[in-house]
């Protein structure tokens, strides 16, 4: 634009302010479909271009695209390449594009999109006798578009896919809001896309027929030629597509200079040309796809924003591909391009079956037709029944390599330790032919008459198991069957058992000195010293029923305490012992007889806390401590109380 024209334009702006009162006499420029962003069909991995995912017999997709354009319609008060803006007739446009698509027959796609204006405003401009009005409504709808695309070549994921399609824009928007031409628009298009390794691309070429031929400023609106290209990478296991997009269009109608504004020529060509660049990313997560992008306009053409921001969310059902139609999904198919069979090996799953096995399947040098064991490597023999079989020295049908008893004929079993061996009915490790007691678990013996029979004296104390009251604890013979073969003290069932009683003076807690009582207590002490894992023992005192219960209870507690004191003095940790008296409450024999009363007058040692409580049949006692409150002894001893 010449300096004279710039001066003229400035004068026209100034005149506009002075002629504000004559607004009704000015020409009113009506709006048109301004927003140049036309979102791709739902299901694409680009914002403006199309990845041509036309898979599915009946496959729908739905989504929303939020489109913000900043200053899509501005006028300069300087030459066309200047950044000095006189006014933003449309300053902000925020559209929510609600749309959907459905793919039919793996080839045809139908689509629809409705732009909903959430924010649409600007500032009016007066140039000479021409008014450029701002949008009349901040909210509304744009032109509803309906489209269809037909795949011509290739398919999704191939290096090259091509489709032919078209869109029809119905005039559901408003010219006064710059959201419609007020008449039907038609846009045929040619689309291409492809994947080359990790790289992806998309391209389009389109022609938009616009019946609107009004002048707008320096531009005569009309049909447009347009296109776009996208280049990017597919990463994150093919879930993310990232890359730039370029879109462009230009009005085909020649535009002379406008006598009212003085605009035309080069400025008109620039105003009718749209070029915009975007950088976007689309992430697919299961059946949902999320997109974010932004870009800038590269020209001052009508509809070209100074900046644009995009957000999208779509529901796009994913398809499990099976290119070779063998029933195995491509992501599981080791040979996705060749029909095969399903296997449990990921390296062969979906691949053709291997060739038939060679004539010598086991590779032992004996051909299958002559191999008596064609699936088991063996050795050549002159016997057709054993040729090609592994050696079987004892001839029991169990090959030597698996025979646990190579030199003794046996029977097949699933246990590698007994396979090929004679049976062992009782499972004691002594085979039945050598087992003198084949149906009883026993031990080995040099005596053939005893080999495999139960040990008659397990604890080797000279008392046979059948009469030994403690067959696993070495002891001494005793005429009492309950004590025969038992030691003085031993651990069993969570208790330190004693076979002799601690003796006390009559009616007293004093321990009778001598070998009997001390022998018992020494035996108990030895057990506790040998078993440090026993950390808590309850020493219980018990009496017969002679005397008053309260006195007996106190007496039994004191006797138990005397035992605790004795053990403590002989090296046992005091914290490991505590005394409890039960008196006559827990008899173990009949108090009606002298023998029963003698059994009831006793001390017991119950293990409450222990790790591994000694040898024999050992079970730690519960760790809970029974509550027992001793009753104080009466001051005067009743005369009838005798030797509890």
565-605 residue pLDDT tens:
999 999 999 999 999 999 999 999 999 998 888 888 999 99
Cross-strand pairs, 607: 537
Query: What HEC string does 240-257 produce?
Result: EEEEEEEEEEEECCCCCC
Model confidence band, residue 24 (pLDDT cutoffs 50, 70, 90): very low
Q: How far apart are CA 641 and CA 644, in angstroms?
A: 7
Q: What is the pLDDT of residues 55-69, one digit of tens each?
A: 988 999 999 999 999
Yes or no: domain 489-609 corresponds to CATH 2.120.10.30: no
Q: Where in the chain is the domain with CATH 3.30.1330.60?
A: 489-609
Cross-strand pairs, 59: 103
Q: Which residue has the higher pLDDT, 635 or 510?
A: 510
Give the list of residues 6+ apart from residue 18 with CB closer than 8 angstroms, or none: none
**Nearest CA to 411 among 393, 429, 424, 430?**
424
Question: Token pair of 495, please?
Answer: 């208790």
Q: What is the pLDDT of residues 85-96, one digit of tens each?
A: 567 889 999 999
Q: Where in the chain is the domain with CATH 2.40.160.40?
A: 3-315
**Nearest CA to 271 among 232, 297, 244?**
297
**Nearest CA to 367 among 383, 352, 351, 387?**
387
Sheet holding 577-583, edge to edge: 489-492, 495-498, 602-609, 536-542, 577-583
**Nearest CA to 440 among 231, 555, 450?**
450
Mean pLDDT of the chain: 82
pLDDT at residue 360 greater than cutoff 90 = no
The mean pLDDT value for 515-528 works out to 88
Model confidence band, residue 615 (pLDDT cutoffs 50, 70, 90): very low
Q: What angle do CA 219, 211, 24 make, to 5 degrees?
A: 55
Per-residue pLDDT at 268: 56
The two counts, helices (H) then strands (E), for the chain are 5, 23
Q: How far apart are CA 287 and CA 328, in angstroms?
A: 20
The mean pLDDT value for 605-628 works out to 53
Model confidence band, residue 162 (pLDDT cutoffs 50, 70, 90): very high
Q: What is the pLDDT of residues 132-147, one digit of tens each?
A: 889 999 999 999 999 9
Q: Which residue has the higher pLDDT, 269 or 189?
A: 189
Please state which CATH class domain 3-315 belongs to: mainly beta
Poorest-pLDDT segment among 129-138, 458-467, 483-492: 458-467
């Amino acid at each position: 634009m010449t300096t004279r024209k710039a001066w003229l334009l400035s004068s026209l702006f100034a005149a506009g302010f002075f002629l504000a009162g004559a607004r009704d006499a000015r020409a009113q420029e009506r709006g048109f479909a301004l927003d140049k962003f036309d979102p791709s069909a739902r299901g694409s991995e680009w914002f403006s271009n199309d990845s041509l995912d036309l898979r599915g017999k009946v496959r729908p997709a739905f989504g929303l695209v939020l489109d913000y354009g900043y200053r899509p319609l501005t006028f300069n008060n300087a030459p066309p390449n200047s950044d000095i803006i006189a006014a933003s007739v449309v300053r902000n446009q925020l559209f929510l594009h609600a749309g959907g698509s459905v793919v039919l027959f793996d080839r045809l796609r139908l689509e629809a999109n409705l732009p909903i204006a959430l924010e649409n405003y600007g500032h009016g401009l007066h140039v000479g006798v021409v008014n450029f009005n701002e949008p009349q409504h901040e909210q509304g709808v744009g032109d509803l578009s309906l489209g269809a695309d037909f795949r011509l070549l290739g398919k999704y994921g191939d290096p090259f896919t091509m489709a032919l399609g078209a869109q029809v824009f119905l005039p559901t928007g408003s010219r006064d809001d710059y959201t419609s031409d007020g008449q039907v628009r038609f846009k045929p298009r040619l689309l291409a896309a492809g994947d080359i390794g990790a790289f992806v691309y998309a391209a389009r070429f389109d022609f938009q027929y616009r019946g609107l031929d009004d002048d707008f400023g320096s531009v005569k609106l009309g049909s447009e030629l347009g296109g776009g290209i996208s280049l990017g990478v597919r990463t994150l296991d093919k879930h993310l597509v990232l890359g730039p997009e370029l879109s462009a269009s230009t009005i085909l109608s020649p535009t002379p200079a406008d006598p009212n504004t003085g605009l035309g020529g080069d400025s008109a060509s620039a105003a009718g040309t749209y070029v915009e660049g975007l950088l976007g990313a689309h992430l697919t997560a299961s059946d949902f796809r999320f997109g974010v992008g932004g870009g800038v306009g590269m020209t001052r053409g009508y509809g070209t924003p100074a900046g644009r921001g995009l957000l999208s969310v779509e529901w796009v059902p994913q398809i499990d591909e099976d290119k070779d139609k063998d029933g195995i999904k491509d992501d599981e198919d080791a040979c996705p391009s060749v029909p095969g069979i399903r296997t449990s090996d990921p390296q062969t799953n979906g691949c053709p079956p291997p060739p038939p096995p060679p004539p010598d399947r086991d590779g032992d040098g004996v051909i299958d037709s002559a191999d008596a064991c064609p699936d088991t490597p063996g050795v050549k023999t002159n016997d057709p029944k054993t040729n090609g079989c592994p050696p079987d020295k004892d001839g029991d049908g169990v090959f030597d390599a698996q025979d646990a008893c190579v030199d003794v004929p046996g029977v097949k079993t699933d246990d590698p330790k007994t396979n090929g061996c004679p049976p062992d009915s009782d499972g004691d490790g002594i085979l039945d032919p050598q087992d003198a007691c084949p149906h009883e678990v026993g031990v080995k013996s040099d005596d053939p008459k005893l080999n495999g029979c139960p040990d008659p004296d397990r604890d080797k104390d000279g008392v046979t198991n059948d009469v030994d009251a403690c067959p696993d604890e070495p002891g001494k013979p005793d005429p009492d069957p309950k004590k025969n073969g038992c030691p003085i003290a031993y651990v069993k069932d969570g208790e330190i058992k004693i076979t002799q009683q601690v003796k006390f003076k009559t009616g007293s807690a004093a321990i009778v000195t001598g070998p009997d009582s001390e022998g018992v207590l020494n035996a108990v002490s030895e057990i506790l010293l040998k078993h440090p894992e026993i950390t808590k023992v309850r020493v219980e005192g018990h009496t017969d029923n002679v005397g008053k219960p309260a006195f007996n209870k106190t007496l039994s507690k004191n006797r138990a305490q005397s035992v605790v004191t004795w053990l403590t003095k002989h090296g046992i940790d005091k914290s490991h012992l505590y005394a409890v008296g039960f008196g006559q409450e827990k008899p173990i024999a009949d108090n009606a007889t002298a023998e029963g009363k003698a059994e009831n007058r006793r001390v017991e040692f119950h293990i409450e806390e222990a790790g591994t409580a000694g040898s024999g049949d050992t079970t730690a006692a519960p760790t809970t401590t029974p509550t027992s409150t001793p009753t104080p002894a009466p001051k005067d001893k009743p005369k009838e109380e005798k030797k509890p």
